[in-house]
Amino acid sequence: MEPGKKDFFSTRFIRFLGGKNLLYGLVTLVLLGIVFLLYSKVSFIFKPILVFVHTVVLPVILAVIAFYLLRPVLKLLIKWRIPRVWGIVIIYLAVIGLLTLLVTLVVPFLKEQFMNLITEFPQYFMKFINGFQVLVEDSKFTSMLDKYDIDLNAAISQIGTDLTNYVKDAAGNLGKGLASSITGFVTTLTGIVLALVTVPFILFYLLKDGEKLPAAFIKLLPPAMRPDTAHLLKNADHQISSYIQGQIIVSFCIGVMVTIGFLIIGLDYAVPLGFLAMITSVVPYLGPIIAITPAAIIAVVTAPVMLLKLAAVWTVVQLIEGKFISPQVMGKSLHVHPITIIFVLLTAGSLFGVPGVVLGIPGYAVLKVLVSHLWNLFKKRYNKFQTKHHRYEVTEWKDDEEPKKDE
């Protein structure tokens, strides 16, 4: 190139777009496109890997959740100078005893209550629809319905017919599906049983050697990457631990409070409705809506004043949970906006179904930690006012320390 003559990448517009970095970015995108194209042509080669991941992912996820729930208990036992292995044995014996009590005492009662609720809920629903019909016919909406030739009686009859047919078709399709695809059913059942059997073994080694895994992984990396990777893993571990432990505790408290409140006001099926509230509360924002709907229908059918009592109980529970329980248990560990949570739940549910709804928020929290950390590293590298590249000196992995925020 002649002296004083600017090349293509030195022009003001190209420099504004990134200069040679723009060329590198475009080449990277092209190479990624070629990789995806080749993968689509030879994807059958990776099928055994996908089958392996699909088989392993369920027990691993269950074991990781149990690990974060039981790790504080194990720490407490270790502080009492109980060896780690014996502490794990004590935890296993306690969990087995608790599960035995639940299976022998609680599960039969809940099963009977839920079966009665499922059997009688269509009747509650139809009474609710009929009451709504009477309310509309006695109001000013009747003239509006007549104006637009809307037959409310026919619409309600059609709803009842559709609901009955839906239940019958679902039962029939379930029977046909089990009869025609018994092999698939047995395969799925076998996979679930194997997952439940392997979870205790995976959990044992996670509790025994789980604290050594991050340090072992960090030692495999180049020395220059170890401090930042240790900080990243520490943040991710803190986010997952805070969310799982906090959400389980909050859900349990909500279930207990809802059950007690429903028993006080005399609502039918208080125990199964409280248990439903506890289970659905694992999903933020959407869970309480799912839990309150059947309770509201039963309350309206029972007596109009029961709906007011239900609203009072639900308001008190939400105030206690929002003002006292969640701030103390979960704090502000996630820093996720409510609108973002709703979008994450909807997207994860559409992509992965129920597991996506349950695991979407902790997955987003980990992804947020990764992206935030990479963005901070990017700013430190290209910010000309950054005089010092901050390093996180980590000499030992200690899971009981809360990670420091990026400066």
CA atoms within 13 A on the CB side of 283: 24
Cβ-based neighbours of 191, under 8 Å, separated by 6 or more:
55, 58
Please give the radius of gyration of the chain, using alpha carbons only, rounded to the nearest integer: 28
In this predicted structure, which of 107-111, 121-125, 128-132 has the lowest mean pLDDT?
128-132
Question: What's the chain's length in residues?
Answer: 407
Tell me the C-alpha distance between 85 and 83, whole Å.
6
Place of tokens 């925020």: 405
The H or E element containing residue 9 is: none
Nearest to 274 by CA among 292, 294, 252, 258: 258
Nearest to 23 by CA among 4, 5, 8, 12: 8
φ, ψ (nearest 5 deg) of residue 390? -70, 135
In this predicted structure, which of 54-58, 158-162, 245-249 has the lowest mean pLDDT?
158-162
Tell me the C-alpha distance between 212 and 398, whole Å.
10
Residue at 15 is within a domain = yes
Domain of 21 in residue numbering reads as 8-38
Predicted local confidence at residue 88, as pLDDT? 92
Q: What percent of the chain has pLDDT over 90?
A: 4
Per the CB < 8 A criterion, the answer to whether 283 and 366 are in contact is no
The stretch 262-280 carries a mean pLDDT of 87
Per-residue pLDDT reduced to its tens digit, 154-208: 665 666 566 556 555 554 554 444 444 455 455 555 666 777 788 888 889 888 8
Is the pLDDT at 394 greater than 50, yes or no?
A: no
Q: Which of residues 14 and 234 earns the better pLDDT score?
A: 234
Cβ-based neighbours of 355, under 8 Å, separated by 6 or more:
61
Q: 7 burial class (0-12, 13-18, 19+ CB within 10 angstroms)?
A: exposed
Q: 190 burial class (0-12, 13-18, 19+ CB within 10 angstroms)?
A: exposed
Predicted local confidence at residue 59, as pLDDT? 84
Is the pLDDT at 147 greater than 80, yes or no?
A: no
Place of tokens 């947020």: 368
Tally the domains of the chain. Answer: 1
Is the pLDDT at 401 greater than 60, yes or no?
A: no
Residue at 107 is within a domain = no
Per-residue pLDDT reduced to its tens digit, 349-391: 787 777 777 778 888 878 888 888 788 777 776 665 555 444 4
Residue at 34 is within a domain = yes
Per-residue pLDDT reduced to its tens digit, 312-334: 998 998 888 878 777 776 655 55
Q: What angle do CA 349, 351, 356 make, to 5 degrees?
A: 45
Label residue 142 by pLDDT band (50, 70, 90).
Answer: low
3-state secondary structure of 4: coil
Q: Which of residues 61 and 88 earns the better pLDDT score?
A: 88
Is the pLDDT at 90 greater than 90, yes or no?
A: yes
Residue at 69 is within a domain = no
Predicted local confidence at residue 260, as pLDDT? 92
Tell me the C-alpha distance between 170 and 161, whole Å.
14
Residue at 26 is within a domain = yes
Tell me the C-alpha distance between 146 and 151, whole Å.
8
The H or E element containing residue 115 is: helix 107-137
